[in-house]
Structure formats: C-alpha cells, structure tokens
Amino acid sequence: MAYEYIKVEPDPPIATITLDRPKVLNALSPAVIAEVGQALSELDADDAVRAVVITGGPKVFAAGADIGDMAERSAAEQLNRDQTGAWSPISGFKKPLIAAVNGYCLGGGCELALMCDVIIAGDSARFGQPEINLGIIPGAGGTQRWPRTAGKFAAMEVMLTGGMIGARRAYELGLANKVVPAEMSVAVAQRMARQLAEKPPVAVRLAKESVQKAFETSLAEGLAAERRSFYFLFSTDDQKEGMRAFLEKRKGVFKGR
C-alpha cells in the first residue's frame, strides 16, 4: 500500500521503515503512527520479512508529536482518539524491531524508539521527553519504559527536567546498544537485522516475547512462561536442524517451522 508520511522498503529478509517528514523533523502525528502501525502489521504477516529497521533518516529520528494538532483539544477528545491503540502494532510487533536513531529522538519519537528491541544510536542522537515543558507528560509509554531500561533516577531526570541526553550517555544508561557515526547507523541496523533474519524465526519470536515478559510479570510467572517456550521449541524442525548442524559443525538453515 502507498504511504504518505513514511517510506517502507522491503528487502527480504528485512524491511526498512523511514519516517519521512523532514520539514517538521518527523513529528509524529496520529496519521504517521497509523501508517507505521499499518506497515508493521503487514510486515508481521509477511513471512519473507524476518526483521525490521525503523529510522528517521540521516538527520533526525522524530522530534516529538504534532503540537499544533493537539494544542486546543479537550481531554475527552484525546481519549476518544485512542492513540494508545494506534501504537499497539508497534509495541506488539512480533519480529525483531531495530531503531536507527540520529539527531533528535524526543517525546513520542523517543517512546517509539523505546518500543523497539535494539537501538543503534548515531553519534548525533539526542534522547529526551520534553512533554513537561508543555504541561503534559509522555503518553505512549515513556514514563514506564524509561525506568525499566535506564532506572528510576535517569528516568526522573529526563521526565521532570524535559532535558536531553546525548548518544554517549544513552549508551552508558543502556538505552542504546551501540554508538556509531550517524551516517552509518541505518547500515549498521540493517546489517544487524540481516544477522537476526538468519536465526530460527520461531525461537527469535519466543525469545523476544520472553524478554518482554520480564517487564510485565513477576519473576515466577516469567520463568514459567520461559520454560513453556523452551519446551515448546523442541517441537520445531528448526530446533532439530539447529542442533544437528551444531553437531555436524555446519551452519543451520532454518525454515521457521
């Protein structure tokens, strides 16, 4: 399908989604989120695609939401637009989702990055939740995902001051997996996506699901879920192939079965 605000480039076994509104620094309007959600829903259903990169291109990831669109709205209007639901194809995406972040990654943009599984930061990346300066707070998971990743105090600092942190600090906080030169971040993310695309897809999916569980359940429940997935994987062809290949000292070829 055709998109107005994003570019979707499938290059099996991976695909790249690029936020494409450079004039407004890739501000995330509901329409943009809807398009990203639509694209991810389609890519989730596409067996040829095994990992996805999401980026804002070389200069900026996404500098927050469309403020002009929100300024005069009432609480009821905001509630009825159900933006939370619009984000769910992103946070619920089942395949590995890698963010390549350059420049500003603020507000909703930062929350989008935090929904991803891996963040490759360009050295120009700046992360932050400036909502407080507008009299609101993050509304797409920022206050929940920051502390789960960077800890309470870094999260508080970012939420309460509305200030930004650079790529290096983000890396030190565990918010970015890697810091690379900005012009290389998309390529590095795509390479990583290709590496992940070679792994057994069912195991990849369950590994992702299992790690996500760690943020949502008690340890006992998480461990039980992990064990169920672990046993389940012994019913897949890919497990047999993977272990045989290991014993035969060759590279496994996985079919996702």
Interface residue list for another protein (CB under 8 A): 123, 168, 178-181, 183-184, 187-188
CB closer to another protein out of 160 and 187: 187
In the complex, least distance from residue 179 CB atom to another protein, rounded to whole angstroms: 7
Query: Minimum CB separation from another protein for residue 113, in Å?
Result: 20
Structure tokens at 22: 């450079």
> Residues 37, 64, 99, 111: which is the catalytic one?
111
**Closest by Cα among 82, 8, 4, 18 to 44:** 8
> Known catalytic residue: 131?
yes
111 is catalytic: yes
Measured from the CB atom, the residue of 14 and 188 that comes closer to another protein is 188
Angle at which helices 237-247 and 201-213 pack, to 10 degrees?
110
**Shortest Å distance, C-beta 123 to another protein:** 7
What is the smallest separation between the CB atom of 238 and another protein, expressed in angstroms?
Answer: 31
Q: Is 183 an active-site residue?
A: no
CB of 184 or CB of 207, closer to another protein? 184
* Residue among 17 and 180 whose Cβ is closer to another protein: 180
- Which of the following is catalytic: 56, 103, 107, 108? 108
Residue pair 111/91 in contact by the 8 Å Cβ criterion: no
Smaller CB distance to another protein: residue 121 or 140? 121
The minimum distance between CB 176 and another protein, in angstroms, equals 13
| Residues acting as catalytic residues | 65, 108, 111, 131
